[in-house]
Amino acid sequence: MAAERIECGDYLIERIPITEEQQQLVTEDVYTARIEAARTSDILRFASKSLPKLNGIEHVKRVRRESTDPDNELLVILCQCKMIDREELDTLLRGTEWEESRISVNRVPRYPPYTRDQFEQWKALWPVAYRPPVKLKKLAFSTDEKAYIQMCLSEADELRRQNSNTDNRPVAVVIGNANTRNIVAESTDKTRKTGNPLRHAAMCCIAQVAESEVTRLALKEKSTLQKDNKGDLDGENVHLPLKRTHEECDSEKAESSNDVANYLCEGLDVFSSKEPCVMCTMALVHSRIGRLFFIDESESGGISHYSMHCLKALNHHFTAFKCTRFSTSNSQ
C-alpha cells in the first residue's frame, strides 16, 4: 500500500504501516455447491445442520452470484476443505437432495481486508465484507502540532549531533507532551559514559519521566498532608507513594484525567534520532507511549524489523513514524 507522508518543517514524516495493512492475499479452499438461487436458504440450513461450521472466515460472504450465468445459479459455500476431505463430504451429501449439486473447490481470502485497497483487490476472488477500522484515520497534523513535532525532532537531532563529538554513541531521545506541546525529558546515550549497557537514550528518558512523577506525587502528598496537619509538617519526612493502590489510582483518575496517567508515559510522544532497539521499544510499550517518531532506521530496530508497535500479542500498541530530514546540514 502507498505510504502516508506529510511534510513537517525540515522533515518528511511517514507513518509506518501496521502488520494488517501489509498483509498480502492469502487464500483458503472451500467446497461450494452450484444451485438455483431460490434454493439458497435450504442448502444453508442443511450445511448448518450437517456440515462443519465455518471457522475464522466470517468475513467471507456465503454466496457468490455468477454474473455470466444465464440460469441464475449461485455458488454457495458448504464448508472449509481443511475440516473434511472430499470423500467425507460426498458421504454426508449421499442420499440428500444436494447429492447432485455440482460440488467444486473455490479459493476465498483467509483474512479480513484491513484497507480499502485490500478489499478492492481481494473481493475479486470471492465477495468479502469490509468494515474500515476506526484506527485507520488519514494522517493529518494541525499547524501547532507540526511546530511541536518539528521542535522535538530538531532537539533530538541537535542533541545527537552534539553527542557525536564525544566517545558516546550518537543517539538522542526527547519525550514530548502533545497536550502542552513541551519537552518533558531528553537524553543522549549514556552506555559508555556510565559503563552501564542499559543506559540507552530512551531508557534514560523514561527514567527521567519516572523521577518527575515521583517528585510530582511527593509534592501532591505533601500538600495533602499539610492540609490535614494544618501545615506543621516536616518536609523531609514526606512519604513517597511509589506504589499506589488500585483505589488510589482509580480516585486519582477520577480526579483529573489530564493530571494523572495510569502508566508512566501514557499519551506522551517519543522523538528519537535513531530507531529504538528491541529493549527500548519494549520499554516504550510497557510505559504506554502514544506515538514514536524516529529519524534514522536501525538494522536491529524494534519497529522496522519486528513491528513491535503493533504486535497482537502485546497489550499496548502505538503509532510509529519514520522521519526523513529534507536537508543534510544537520545530519552526520
The contact set with Zn ion (CB under 5 A) reads: 200, 277, 280
3-class SS at 237? helix
**What phi and psi values does residue 81 have, to the nearest 5 degrees?**
-65, -30
Helix (H, G, I), strand (E, B), or coil: what is residue 230? Answer: coil
Shortest gap between Cβ of 313 and Zn ion (angstroms)? 20
Whole-Å CA distances, 155 to 40, 182, 247: 64, 11, 39
**Maximum distance among all Cα pairs of the chain, rounded to whole angstroms:** 93
Task: Tell me if 14 sits within 8 A of 4, measured CB to CB.
Answer: yes
The smaller minimum CB distance to Zn ion, of residues 190 and 200, is found at 200
CB of 136 to Zn ion, least distance (A): 29
Chain position carrying cell 510505559: 287
- Residue 206 pairs in a beta bridge with none
- Minimum separation from the CB atom of position 189 to Zn ion (A): 8
Nearest to 156 by CA among 172, 170, 169, 178: 172
Query: Of 109 and 276, which has the nearer Cβ to Zn ion?
Result: 276
Three-state SS at 259: coil
Q: Min. distance of Cβ 292 from Zn ion in angstroms?
A: 12
Q: 27 Cβ partners below 8 Å, 6+ apart? A: 107, 108, 109, 110, 125
Residue 238 Cβ, how far from Zn ion at the closest point, in Å? 34
Q: Which is nearer to Zn ion, 25 or 282 (CB)?
A: 282
Q: Which is nearer to Zn ion, 217 or 284 (CB)?
A: 284
Residue 36, all three cell numbers: 438455483
Residue closer to Zn ion by CB (options 80, 307) is 307
Nearer to Zn ion, 59 or 169 (CB): 169
Shortest Cβ distance from residue 279 to Zn ion (Å)?
A: 5
Is 238 or 277 the residue whose CB approaches Zn ion more closely? 277
Supply the DSSP string of 117-141, one letter for each residue. Answer: HHHHHHTTTS-B-----TT-PPP--
Amino acid (1-letter code) at residue 116: R
Taking CA atoms, 147 is separated from 100, 108, 300, in Å, by 69, 47, 30
Give the nearest distance from C-beta 196 to Zn ion in angstroms.
Answer: 12
> Nearest approach, Cβ of 197 to Zn ion (angstroms)?
10
Element at 81 (helix H, strand E): none
Q: How far apart (Å, rounded) are the C-alpha atoms in residues 200 and 216?
A: 24
Query: Which residue, 59 or 274, has its beta carbon nearer to Zn ion?
Result: 274
